[in-house]
Structure 1
Amino acid sequence: MNAMSDTASLNTPSVFPGGARLLADVGGTNARFALETAPGQVGHIHVLACADYPTLADALRAYLALPDVAAAAPGIRHGAIAIANPVTGDMVRMTNHHWEFSIDGLRRDVNFDVLAVVNDFTALARSLPHIPAAQKRQVGGGTAIEGTPLGLIGAGTGLGVSGLIPSPAGWTALLSEGGHVSFPPINETEVAILQFAWKEFEHVSAERLLSGVGIELIYRALAAHRHIAAEVLGAPEIAQRALEGTCPLCDETIEAFCTMLGTIAGNLGVTLGAQGGIYIGGGIVPRLGARFDNSGFRARFEAKGRFRAYLSAIPTFVITAEYPAFLGVSAILAERLALA
């Protein structure tokens, strides 16, 4: 188990009438768990590797049994889970991991009264209005217009897409699977990448290229296109070599990733009319740091012909908060309990 713990914010007794609440953010690689004892008081954060547990119920029970968690909040009854997968009914089958479960069955397995399960990017979208300025970084120009839609995109194990739409009653998060739109090449090099990907996949979605395994696919495609022998490299090694400046092909791969992400983010901007900004989450872009800021992402984002001025006015932000989805699942759970 790969775990981290932060208990500094949980030194006060619970003020939630029903006791502490479980918050979770489950991806294809890691499951992140935390306790919330009062509004905004989140701690006892542990990260568990999904591969170490046969089921999500096993991972959840392992978290609840950790000594610091069990001592801080015995008998938890309420929880909310954000998961990297469509959530359209009671049964959930993960796209990027083998876990599958019934939401109500999981609730009964862990003896909860209320268990909310939502798409991870729905939860992340709900967090956007609550992210402090210090935990996001603007890339390029543009100014957010208050009361207008927000867009969200993030590359990691997969490609998540969502949006937040304002209304008089508050914000509505979109249940989007926009990462599975068909990949749109913009230049001859991207056409070559797409043609290479077609050898492996009948349908090449944006996620096939804008993800961890996508970076590896771009690397192999560019090697074939440049007639260069490709090494067997994983996405972290490709990114590291690019950041170190030790591999021109790796650097070209990361540049292609950034610019192609700019295309999809720009598409999202005009589709949603996201004049409140486009937010970039996921595990990959924040780790690229200044390399992403200095890439062709923003230029490609704005490259929409007659709509260049429209997109130039939309700001783009990299989310740098370590666990932003917890803000979203907390808000969703609070609403669910208010209706219970």
Structure 2
Amino acid sequence: MKLALVGDIGGTNARFALWRDEQLQAVQVLATADFPGPEQAIAAYLHAQGLPLGAVDAVCLACAGPVSGDLFRFTNNHWRIERAAFCAALQIEHLLMINDFSAMALGMTRLRDGERLQVCPGEAQAGRPALVIGAGTGLGVGTLLGLEDGRWLVLPGEGGHVDLPVGSPREAELWQVLHQQLGHVRAEDVLSGNGLLALYRAICTLDGQPQVHSTPAAISAAGLAGEPLAGQVLEQFSRWLGRVAGNNVLTLGARGGVYIAGGVVPRFAERFLASGFAKSFSDKGCMSHYLDGIPVWLVTAEYPGLTGAGVALQQAYGAD
């Protein structure tokens, strides 16, 4: 192939890079609101790199939502992709579209030293699936499988929409408040950026405290600064993430390890590492021993979704 381009497209920003020698090069972040569609954004990116249309032979785009067929409409911005028109506009031969969390999961296969922090010690078992779970705009959950030929397979799912588990009397009380406010309570309703705010409001309601903060960023900052109530939010968030991750390990037999990805947890990484995550992760009654020795890592890599798109492109077309 002449040259490959990868993209990770969210609601606000689109990240693009060249994929060359199995590495990202020339990463650039563009605002989706500045362009009528992905063709124009990619054309602008190529122009900034001094590359003409036709210089890129293959493109892989990680897109939020289920990907199938030749037409994709983004759920969180105004962009759409029609395969034939896209390829013609950019003069490319190959277009691969994959789910954004599938790209995130594939990105775990190329983590470098210093791009993950150990949360729970252990050793990943060869040949067993790994769990990738990430709190961001929503809660993504995927299963990563290594194949015998050295390739990787991602089994995407909707694990963020499972029922929020309850593991203590305090959590039962919080669940009741959340149920009154939300109706059906999903894991994603708490374990996401907006979920951090929902949890804060539930704790304030339960404890009769005034609601001072109005954004997830403010809650995180206050918790890190030592505010007790905000600190409770970060702690309970961590514990609930542990319960959900542990449930998924039991369901999947994910003794290949657990990767905690997404943009939320790294914002309070030090607090998270000292939290009750590990205890809640392994708190499974008679099956608690099953979680012993399963390694858990917090991913701090800057562009794992872009890297995963490169891995997907390489596996599909041999792009290097």
Q: TM-score, normalised by structure 2?
A: 0.91
Matches within 5 A, 1:279-298: 279-298=259-278
Q: Does 1:142 align with 2:122?
A: yes
Matched, 1:215 2:196: yes
2:222 matched to which residue of 1? 241
Displacement of 1:268 in angstroms is 1.4
How many residues are aligned here?
318
Out of 314, 329, 333, the position equivalent to 2:309 is 329
**Are residues 1:173 and 2:154 paired?**
yes
Equivalent residues in 2 for 1:1-340, closer than 5 Å: 18-36=1-19, 38-66=20-48, 69-71=49-51, 75-169=55-149, 170-245=151-226, 247-338=227-318
CA spacing shift, 1:73–1:209, aligned 2, 3 Å: same
Asked if the contact 1:28/1:157 (under 8 Å) is kept, the reply is no
Contact 1:157-1:212 within 8 A present in 2 as well: yes
- In the TM superposition, what whole-angstrom CA distance separates every residue of 1:238-290 from its partner, at most 9, and x where no partner exists? 10111111x21111111111111111111111111111100011011122121
CA distances 1:222-245 after superposition (whole Å, capped 9, x unpaired): 111111110242111110111111
CA distance in 1 between partners of 2:184 and 2:125 (Å): 36
Deviation at 1:219, TM superposition (A): 0.7
Deviation at 1:335, TM superposition (A): 2.5
Q: 1:184 to 1:64 in 2, by over 3 A?
A: same
SS at match of 2:5: strand
Question: Per the alignment, do residues 128 and 232 of structure 1 end up closer, same or farther by CA in structure 2, a change over 3 Å counting?
Answer: closer
How far, CA to CA, are the matches of 1:204 and 1:55 in structure 2?
A: 35
Give, in angstroms, the shift of residue 324 of structure 1: 1.7
Q: Contact (CA 8 Å) 1:156, 1:284: kept in 2 or not?
A: yes
Identity %: 38
Q: CA offsets per residue over residues 202-225 of structure 1, 9 Å max, x none? A: 432211211111101111111111
* Residue 75 of structure 1: how far off its partner (Å): 2.6
Runs (5+) with no aligned partner, structure 2: none
CA deviations on 1:72-98 (whole Å, 9 max, x unpaired) are 997323111112222233333444445
Give the superposition deviation at 1:190: 2.6
Residue identity in the other structure for 1:178 = G
Higher relative contact order (CA 8 A, sep 6+): 2
CA RMSD between the two structures: 2.3
Q: Once the 2 structures are TM-superposed, how far is the Cα of residue 187 of structure 1 from its aligned partner?
A: 2.4
Distance in 1 between residues matched to 2:137 and 2:124, nearest whole Å: 29
Give the alignment's TM-score, normalised by structure 1: 0.86
Distance 2:169 2:182 in 1: 19
Amino acid at match of 1:27: G
Range 199-208 or range 275-284, more displaced: 199-208
Q: Give the Å deviation of 1:151.
A: 0.7
Q: Distance in 1 between matches of 2:17 and 2:252?
A: 32
Q: Report the residue type matching 2:223 in the other structure.
A: A
| Whole-Å separation in 1 of the counterparts to 2:78 and 2:236 | 30
Give 5+ residue unaligned stretches, structure 1. Answer: 1-17
Structure 1 pair 22–228 and aligned structure 2 pair: CA distance change class (3 A): same
Deviation at 1:133, TM superposition (A): 3.7
- CA distance in 1 between counterparts of 2:302 and 2:137 reads 16
**Of 102-111 and 284-293, the range deviating more from structure 2:** 102-111
Q: 1:24 and 1:322 mapped to 2: Cα distance?
A: 14
Q: Is the partner of 1:79 in helix, strand or coil?
A: strand
More divergent stretch after superposition (233-242 vs 162-171):
162-171
> Cα–Cα, structure 1 residues 193 and 312, in superposed 2: closer, same or farther, change >3 Å?
same
Check whether the contact 2:53–2:91 (CA below 8 A) recurs between aligned residues.
no
Question: Relative to structure 1, is the Cα distance of residues 179 and 103 closer, same or farther in structure 2, using a 3 angstrom cutoff?
Answer: farther
Residue identity matched to 1:61: A
**Contact preservation (8 Å) 1:215, 1:235:** yes
Moved more, 161-170 or 190-199: 190-199
Task: Give the 3-state SS of the residue equivalent to 1:179 in structure 2.
Answer: helix
**Distance in 2 separating the partners of 1:154 and 1:242:** 20
Q: Determine if contact 1:96/1:158 at 8 Å carries over to the other structure.
A: no
Measure how far apart 1:292 and its partner are. Answer: 0.7
One-letter identity of the residue aligned with 1:124: M
| Partners of 1:281 and 1:146 in 2: CA distance | 21
